[in-house]
Amino acid sequence: MSNHDLIRKDFLRQAVACEYLGSPFTVRICRLLAEGLTEKTRFGKHILNWQGKPDSDALPLRAAGAFHALKRQGDAGLFAVYPPNEADNETLWRALEAAMAGHDDFLTRFLDSAPQTNEVSRSSAILGLALHVAKRVGLPLDVYEIGASGGLNLGFDAYAYELGDARWGDTASPVKIVSEWQGAAPPLDTALHVVSRRGSDINPLDASDKGQRERLLSYIWPDQTARLARIEAALEATARGGTRIEKADAADWVEREFAVPGVKGRARVLMHTIMWQYLPNGIQARIEAAMEKAGERATKEAPIAWAWVEQDEKENVSAGVRLRLWPDGTDEELGRADFHGRWVRWG
**What is the structure's pLDDT at 118?**
79
User: What is the C-alpha separation between 305 and 194, in angstroms, rounded?
Assistant: 14
Residue 186, classed as helix, strand or coil, is coil
Q: Is residue 52 over pLDDT 90?
A: no
In terms of domains, do 157 and 36 share one?
no
In terms of domains, do 81 and 131 share one?
no
**Summary mean pLDDT of the chain:** 95
User: What is the C-alpha separation between 51 and 59, in angstroms, rounded?
Assistant: 11
CA 295 to chain centre: 26
Q: Which residues of 101-117 are buried (b: 16+ CB within 10 A; e: fewer)?
A: eebbeebbebbeebbbb
Q: Is residue 161 part of a domain?
A: yes
User: What is the C-alpha separation between 241 and 257, in angstroms, rounded?
Assistant: 22
Q: Is residue 226 part of a domain?
A: yes
DSSP string, 2-67: -HHHHHHHHHHHHHHHHHHTT-HHHHHHHHHHHHH--TTSHHHHHHHT-SS-TTTTTHHHHHHHHH
Please report, for the chain, how many H helices and E strands are present, in that order.
Answer: 12, 11
In terms of domains, do 252 and 140 share one?
yes
Residue 216: which of 63, 68, 3 has the closest Cα? 68
In terms of domains, do 197 and 275 share one?
yes
- The 10s digit of each residue's pLDDT in 248-271 is 999 999 999 999 999 999 999 999
Quote the percentage of the chain above a pLDDT of 70: 100
The residue type of 120 is: V
Residue 246 pairs in a beta bridge with: 200
Q: Is residue 1 over pLDDT 70?
A: no
Q: Into how many domains does the chain fold? A: 2
Residue 124, classed as helix, strand or coil, is helix
In terms of domains, do 139 and 65 share one?
no
Q: What is the pTM of this model?
A: 0.87
Q: Is residue 314 part of a domain?
A: yes
**What is the structure's pLDDT at 243?**
85
In terms of domains, do 131 and 164 share one?
yes
User: What is the C-alpha separation between 336 and 345, in angstroms, rounded?
Assistant: 5
Please identify, among 82, 110, 138, the residue that sits at the C-terminal boundary of a domain. Answer: 110
**CB-count exposure of residue 236 (10 Å: 0-12, 13-18, 19+):** middle
Residue 26: which domain range? Answer: 3-110
Q: Is residue 310 part of a domain?
A: yes
Q: What is the largest CA-CA distance in the chain?
A: 64
- The 10s digit of each residue's pLDDT in 62-108 is 999 999 999 999 999 999 999 999 999 999 999 999 999 999 999 99
User: What is the C-alpha separation between 161 and 159, in angstroms, rounded?
Assistant: 6
Residue 312 pairs in a beta bridge with: none
In terms of domains, do 18 and 139 share one?
no
- The 10s digit of each residue's pLDDT in 105-117 is 999 999 998 888 7
Q: Is residue 90 part of a domain?
A: yes
In terms of domains, do 217 and 335 share one?
yes
Q: How confident is the model at residue 242 (pLDDT cuts 50, 70, 90)?
A: confident
Q: Is residue 7 part of a domain?
A: yes
**What is the structure's pLDDT at 114?**
85
Q: Does the bond joining 60 to the residue before it have cis omega, within 30 degrees of 0? A: no
Q: Is residue 282 over pLDDT 80?
A: yes
Residues 6+ apart with CB under 8 A from 74: none
In terms of domains, do 272 and 161 share one?
yes
Q: For the sheet with 267-273, list strands across it.
A: 166-169, 160-163, 176-183, 343-346, 330-337, 319-326, 304-311, 267-273, 141-146, 194-201, 246-247
Residue 264: which of 293, 290, 299, 297 has the closest Cα? 299
Q: Is residue 234 over pLDDT 90?
A: yes
Q: Is residue 229 part of a domain?
A: yes
Q: Is residue 307 over pLDDT 90?
A: yes
| Average pLDDT of the segment spanning 160-189 | 94
In terms of domains, do 171 and 317 share one?
yes
In terms of domains, do 125 and 189 share one?
yes
How many CB atoms neighbour CB 193 within 10 A?
A: 10
User: What is the C-alpha separation between 254 and 39, in angstroms, rounded?
Assistant: 41
Q: Is residue 115 part of a domain?
A: no
| Average pLDDT of the segment spanning 307-332 | 93
User: What is the C-alpha separation between 133 and 192, in angstroms, rounded?
Assistant: 9
Please identify, among 89, 110, 131, the residue that sits at the C-terminal boundary of a domain. Answer: 110
Please identify, among 80, 110, 140, the residue that sits at the C-terminal boundary of a domain. Answer: 110
In terms of domains, do 206 and 63 share one?
no
- The 10s digit of each residue's pLDDT in 134-169 is 999 999 999 999 999 999 999 999 999 999 999 999
Residue 141: which of 273, 271, 309 has the closest Cα? 271
